[in-house]
């Protein structure tokens, strides 16, 4: 199954592709007339995923539906009867990219049309949710706009476009009918699989579009998640990463048919999943400090399948900024919380997201962030310049920070974080780590896997080891990866 390259664990790369809408130019009409409807024996689709792992999961579910309907995936845009962009709206930059991609897709659609071939163009994901019909107004080559809660109806929407030739916009938040209506069978899995357990967010951080694009917090029931995890294992997965915008706020019913009982916490869910034969490793992301409950901290100590890795965004080390961001915790709350996590699991690898240049951020606020970073010591991190998002409270605030200042602060913060990651990885040289082998490497005879701490590691070995956990001794380290040899040195 296709994934967004090496995207997992490298959210930085993915988030670079974020979308938003800034280009106000109108583009020309597409040529639709005379084209044959999509159909026949060899329907093919091209799907491009932007943004976070939740989009990667959604793309997999779309691909499964399309495969069930007789489509095959093509890596070539020109060959595709159906083109889908699964988009991200979290920061501004990549929307320009979406619209430039759409311009290119329009040209290809027109060229195909001249050859008598129809092309259906769909925009899915968070830009679709945020922009709705405006997308079709700006780029008439788009036939379908479908938000994250509506993609289970993709087949039906394609059919409607083919019948009516009119664009469709599906951006209702239809009470999470999606998971019940998606096919239960999961496609072939790589050893490490994603499973969305929670969607939406009620936190309303003042910089963030997620509460608007993904809606209210919603947790899938435990029985439904366990059933999906079993199917992932049957399809070849050994590690499951539970996904949610606010995953540790998870509070699903045990039994999907009875929503009235006491809810399960994320720790309860991890305990249930760890019982499944074949589930070797469990991870979860992304968490909020306010929802880091004692039972979840204890799960890192008590459940061996729960990996010693925690992505817990702090965003800033300044209490004034944290308050302006509506984060509902202080810097010292975060430090104290990390202390408790480390007490439960001393070797835990820590990861965070940071925003620099939030409105009103002074040099002193930024220094507080650097101080927090030095105080905690992160194994890896993601850091971003504040990007004003239309409709969010911080976007219109006074005190917007000049681009040059944001740039300079980001450079300094990333310099510090890179040093920490280098030092963290260098500390593994000579140590033996258990590695889940994920795939073959670029050179023949090489393999790539992940340590418990989510580091990427390269080593020589036979492809038959893919899907197994093997001991590897680390021989060299870089910022983004390790190198090792199977067994001892």
> Which residue ranges make up the site for ligand SF4 (CB under 6 A)?
201, 203-205, 208, 210-211, 245-246, 288
Return the closest-CA partner of residue 257 out of 221, 214, 295: 221
- Cα separation, 181 vs 54, whole angstroms: 18
Q: State the binding string over 334-373 for ligand 5AD (x if CB under 6 A, else -).
A: -------------------x-x------------------
- Cα separation, 127 vs 174, whole angstroms: 18
CB 206 within 8 A of CB 393: yes
Shortest approach of ligand SF4 to residue 7 CB, angstroms?
18
CB-based contacts of 275: which residues, under 8 Å, 6+ apart? Answer: none
Peptide bond into 286 cis (omega under 30): yes
Return the closest-CA partner of residue 245 out of 294, 283, 280, 196: 196
Query: Closest-CB residue for ligand 5AD?
Result: 353
Question: For residue 354, which phi and psi values (nearest 5 degrees)?
Answer: -135, 145
H/E element, 232: helix 222-234
* CB-nearer residue toward ligand SF4: 249 or 349: 249
Q: State the binding string over 296-335 for ligand 5AD (x if CB under 6 A, else -).
A: -----------------x-x--------------------
* CB-nearer residue toward ligand SF4: 211 or 484: 211
* CB-nearer residue toward ligand SF4: 246 or 383: 246
CB 408 within 8 A of CB 452: no
Residue 201, binding choice from ligand SF4, ligand 5AD, none, Cβ under 5 to 8 Å by partner class: ligand SF4
Question: For residue 253, which phi and psi values (nearest 5 degrees)?
Answer: -70, 150
Residues 31-90 that bind ligand 5AD (CB under 6 A): 90
91 lies in the binding site for ligand 5AD (CB under 6 A): yes
389 lies in the binding site for ligand 5AD (CB under 6 A): yes
Residues touching ligand 5AD: how many (CB under 6 A)?
12
386 lies in the binding site for ligand 5AD (CB under 6 A): yes
Q: State the binding string over 177-216 for ligand 5AD (x if CB under 6 A, else -).
A: ------------------------------xx--------
Return the closest-CA partner of residue 409 out of 373, 434, 447: 373
Rule CB under 6 A: which residues touch ligand 5AD? 90-91, 207-208, 313, 315, 353, 355, 384, 386-387, 389
């Amino acid at each position: 199954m296709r994934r967004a390259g090496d995207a997992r664990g490298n959210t930085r790369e993915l988030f670079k592709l974020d979308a938003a809408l800034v280009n106000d130019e109108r583009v020309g009409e597409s040529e639709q007339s005379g084209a044959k409807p999509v159909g026949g024996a060899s329907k093919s689709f091209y799907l491009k995923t932007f943004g976070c792992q939740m989009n990667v999961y959604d793309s997999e579910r779309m691909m499964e539906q399309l495969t069930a309907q007789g489509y095959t995936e093509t890596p070539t845009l020109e060959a595709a009867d159906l083109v889908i962009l699964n988009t991200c709206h979290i920061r501004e930059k990549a929307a320009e990219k979406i619209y430039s991609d759409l311009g290119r897709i329009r040209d290809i659609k027109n060229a195909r049309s001249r050859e008598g071939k129809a092309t259906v163009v769909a925009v899915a994901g968070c830009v679709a949710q945020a922009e709705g019909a405006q997308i079709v107004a700006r780029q008439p080559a788009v036939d379908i706009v479908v938000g994250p809660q509506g993609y289970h109806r993709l087949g039906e929407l394609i059919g409607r476009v083919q019948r009516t030739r009119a664009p469709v916009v599906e951006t209702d938040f239809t009470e999470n009918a999606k998971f019940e209506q998606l096919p239960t069978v999961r496609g072939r899995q790589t050893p490490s699989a994603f499973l969305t357990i929670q969607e939406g967010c009620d936190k309303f951080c003042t910089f963030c579009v997620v509460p608007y694009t993904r809606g209210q917090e919603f947790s899938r029931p435990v029985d439904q998640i366990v059933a999906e995890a079993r199917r992932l294992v049957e399809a070849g997965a050994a590690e499951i990463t539970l996904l949610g915008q606010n995953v540790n706020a998870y509070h699903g019913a045990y039994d999907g048919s009875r929503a009235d009982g006491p809810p399960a916490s994320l720790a309860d869910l991890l305990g249930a999943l760890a019982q499944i034969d074949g589930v070797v490793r469990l991870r979860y992301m992304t968490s909020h400090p306010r929802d880091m409950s004692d039972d979840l901290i204890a799960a890192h100590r008590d459940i061996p399948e729960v990996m010693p890795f925690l992505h817990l965004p702090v965003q800033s080390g300044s209490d004034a900024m944290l308050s302006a961001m509506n984060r509902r915790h202080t810097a010292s709350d975060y430090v104290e919380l990390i202390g408790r996590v480390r007490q439960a699991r001393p070797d835990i690898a820590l990861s965070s997201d940071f925003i620099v240049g939030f409105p009103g951020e002074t040099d002193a606020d930024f220094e507080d962030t650097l101080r927090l970073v030095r105080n905690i010591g992160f194994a890896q991190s993601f850091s971003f310049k504040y990007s004003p998002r239309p409709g969010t409270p911080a976007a219109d605030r006074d005190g917007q920070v000049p681009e040059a200042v944001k740039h300079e602060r980001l450079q300094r913060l990333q310099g510090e974080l890179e040093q920490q990651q280098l030092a963290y990885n260098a500390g593994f040289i000579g140590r033996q780590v258990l590695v889940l082998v994920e795939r073959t490497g670029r050179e023949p005879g090489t393999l790539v896997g992940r340590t418990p701490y989510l580091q990427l590691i390269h080593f020589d070995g036979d492809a038959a080891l893919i899907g197994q956990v093997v001991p590897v001794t680390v021989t060299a380290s870089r910022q983004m990866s390790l190198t090792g040899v199977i067994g001892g040195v």
